[in-house]
Amino acid sequence: MGLNLIIKAMAVLIVTVFYPYEMAWSLPFHTPKKHLSTRRGDQTKIKGISLVAPPEPFRINPFQEIESIGAEWVSIVPYAFARKGSPVLHYDTPIQWWGERPNGVVASIRKAHENGLKVMLKPHVYIPDGWVGDLHFDTESDWLKWEEGYRNYVLKMASIAAEEQVELLCFATEFKHSILKRSAFWNSLILEVRKQYPGLLTFSANWDYFEEIPFWDQMDLIGVSAYFPLSQNRLPTVNHLRKRWKTTRRRLKTISAKYHKKVLFTEYGYLSVDYATKGHWILEPNIKRYAVNEGAQANALEALYRAFWESQWWAGGFLWKWYPNDLTYTGFPADKDYTPQGKMAIETIKKWYKYEGNTR
């Protein structure tokens, strides 16, 4: 009897001590929800940088430099492409850059994780001379063809996100007309994404319609591409910009309270030119007309951080954007581009990302 009691006692000890440990490793992947609490009152901020996908594998590790400025998150952006008016979506084609195709996406995620950074995977659709927010088709067959292509693309991203234990998935970016017109498709797609990917999920709504999105209740975070126009001044002061943020800040706070979810700036940033805060859609087509103005970019970022950092309902955000591999700047001259690399704004970002504004 004594031996049996000892054996039973040992069995209980093994189950009590070791079984929970084994179960912790066998449970489905849910670690992202531990990495970022969305509870009210939590002061954790996402200090993020959006990485430009490189044409070839990393020659220089960009994540060490990103981490050195205080960033804790990086956004990996694999683009798909479509011609304006065409229902055909192209992804993983030979003409695409390495960092946009699945192998490059996986390698980028792993490299970021190796360097201690958390990841948001953020698929985009690029339409030359167009915008996904205006996506529209006249026939049901074209809509169905487009939706099937996008579904396949996003579910591939969801699969990668699950396999690589990505902390946050932004499953779509800046769609507007199609979301309002084709809600059944988007609701179905969200359910499919959720089946594949158990981590945090968001959508990136453009700044001008974030209150219209019908499925915020299905997201973990309210995502906003935060390119709000603020001022017509050539070099607006920080105080002036903070005042200009007040109305928008109230709107964002209201939608956070409505859905009991934090607001994440899935993108934010400014060109380093005169009039940097009047709207990038005005500046970009006429970039040659605007003089370099690093101060305008730095002031705009400082004002944004001061306006939002201490708000419990603001989750943080991802600065647009950062170039790896000494990549030649795409689209705009280096000294006018959104990147803060080598500019005054880098010190502003360091102050807030590394010291959370304590030096202000």
Average pLDDT over residues 143-151: 98
Query: How far is CA 87 from each of CA 91, 149, 214, rounded to the nearest angstrom?
Result: 13, 8, 24
Mean pLDDT is lowest, of 103-107, 219-223, 267-271, 332-336, for 332-336
Query: Max CA-CA distance within the chain?
Result: 93
pLDDT score, position 43: 54
pLDDT score, position 176: 93
Handedness of CA 43, 256, 196, 90 (dihedral sign): negative
pLDDT score, position 36: 46
* Length of the chain, in residues: 360
Spell 171-210 as b/e; 16+ CB within 10 A means b. bbbbbbebbeebeebbeebbeebeebbbbbbbbbbbbeeb
Higher confidence at residue 117 or residue 43? Answer: 117
Running DSSP on this structure, what letter comes out for residue 292?
A: B
Contact of 243 with 299, CB cutoff 8 Å:
no
Domains of the chain (ranges plus CATH)?
Answer: 44-354 (3.20.20.80)
Q: Which helix (H) or strand (E) holds 248?
A: helix 238-259
Beta carbons within 8 Å of 286's beta carbon, 6+ residues apart: none
E-only strand ranges, 1-145: 46-51, 73-76, 79-81, 118-121, 124-126
- pLDDT-based confidence at residue 58 (cuts at 50, 70, 90): very high
Average pLDDT over residues 120-141: 94
Helical spans, DSSP H, in 173-222: 177-181, 183-196
pLDDT score, position 331: 77
Higher confidence at residue 357 or residue 215? Answer: 215
Record the pTM: 0.88
Q: Give the model confidence (pLDDT) of 21-56 as tens digits.
A: 222 222 233 334 434 443 333 458 999 999 999 999
Please state, for a pLDDT cut of 90, what percent of the chain lies above it.
82
- Between CA 238 and CA 83, with CA 289 as vertex, the angle to 5 degrees is 100
Residue 13's CB: how many other CB atoms inside 10 A?
10
Handedness of CA 87, 92, 96, 100 (dihedral sign): positive
pLDDT score, position 360: 52
Pairing of strands 73-76, 118-121: parallel
Contact of 297 with 343, CB cutoff 8 Å:
yes
Average pLDDT over residues 299-314: 98
Beta carbons within 8 Å of 243's beta carbon, 6+ residues apart: none
Mean pLDDT is lowest, of 3-7, 102-106, 132-136, for 3-7
**CA 88, CA 66: separation in Å to the nearest integer?**
36
pLDDT score, position 332: 87
Beta carbons within 8 Å of 25's beta carbon, 6+ residues apart: none
Q: Which helix (H) or strand (E) holds 170?
A: strand 168-173
- Residue 145 pLDDT > 80, yes or no? yes
pLDDT score, position 25: 22
Average pLDDT over residues 152-173: 98
- Residue 12 pLDDT > 90, yes or no? no
- Between CA 89 and CA 98, with CA 92 as vertex, the angle to 5 degrees is 135
Supply the mean pLDDT for the chain.
88
